[in-house]
Structure 1
């Protein structure tokens, strides 16, 4: 099967590429990640995706348009529509945006299906991504190839180290950077989550 593989980054591509090739699939990488902040990080991740492509013999198509303003408008709009932090509406928006762009490119360029390296991460909202991808597949009339790559997370990390690829310390967006490094955010988040749990328990 000829599959278009959305690449969230080079390191996360290591195991999915190995796994899909072992299954006999023909792959092309597709880098579309307008959520990444700041610009230097965005550039670093594109360069690393291309470096991985060279080392793995994988053709990579990269959208190098740094569209941070559009991402922020969409993310803040999503937060306003749904305030429940536990469900991370901005993340659902971001998954759907990237997966839809991948699906459209796959359909328009003769691929049999699309998938994403996002499905290797134990830190992403796996079922939310899967649901979004399945809906997009139906809407765009292009099959979504699903596989839970999370079982190969540790193996992928080892491959990444052997290839000496840059490995980022946070998801990519300005919000995830804050969540990764801000102690104040972590304290506020814990308080909000505790309040949500208490509300649900009182409603039960």
Structure 2
């Protein structure tokens, strides 16, 4: 088995990558570096969830790397609600620390669980992983884990794992909240339209 450093964003998103990478001949070691996750209580809850699953179920090692929150505020937060620029800067910071530590620990290959979620900027993340990994002398292992997202969702629920409802930062939390409200309003609009259509049909039959 080839040792591989796997940057992980959370426990549920780690399930399928660890399984698939092992099937492909890699033995992952998870690297945790996610200074984007706010508040700190949320950061700790996600890390605890990951560690518990890694130790009790997956039997995979977890390395807690640096979480430079000051660097995140300097390089990522100024992008605010510009999601594309913000997420690219966030990926660069997190993958940079993961690759730095992977090279320091003697790994030759690196990957990330960010390739699981359909909500991430897939192409941007792959581009950044490739360039940052090569700059550190590492081989990037980039593949599309998104088709396995439903399986990861089902399995994590069966395991009783904590599942977050936003990516991590305060901006993504606000965006997720707005999207949930928009979806709720659309459901209300559709129900109202269905009731109106039913009333009209009933009146036409009289």
Tell me, which stretches of 5 or more residues in structure 2 are unaligned? 183-206
Larger radius of gyration: 2
> Where do residues 1-204 of structure 1 align in structure 2 (5 Å cutoff)?
1-54=2-55, 55-63=57-65, 65=67, 67-77=68-78, 79=79, 85=82, 88-182=84-178
Cα pair 2:65 2:98 within 8 Å, conserved: no
TM-score (norm 2): 0.81
The alignment's C-alpha RMSD in Å is 2.0
| Cα distance per residue 1:10-49 (max 9 Å; x no partner) | 0000111111111121111111000000111011011011
Task: Pick 1 or 2: higher relative contact order, CA cutoff 8 A, min separation 6.
Answer: 1
Count matched residues. 179
Cα pair 2:118 2:146 within 8 Å, conserved: yes
Report the Cα offset of residue 7 of structure 1: 0.6
The residue that corresponds to 2:201 in the other structure is none
The residue that corresponds to 1:192 in the other structure is none
What SS does the corresponding residue of 1:165 show, helix, strand or coil?
coil
TM-score (norm 1): 0.82
Cα pair 1:46 1:64 within 8 Å, conserved: no
Report the Cα offset of residue 64 of structure 1: 6.8
Tell me, which stretches of 5 or more residues in structure 1 are unaligned? 187-204
| Cα distance per residue 1:41-91 (max 9 Å; x no partner) | 0110110110111121111112374x43431221234x28xx9x3x62111
What SS does the corresponding residue of 1:88 show, helix, strand or coil?
helix
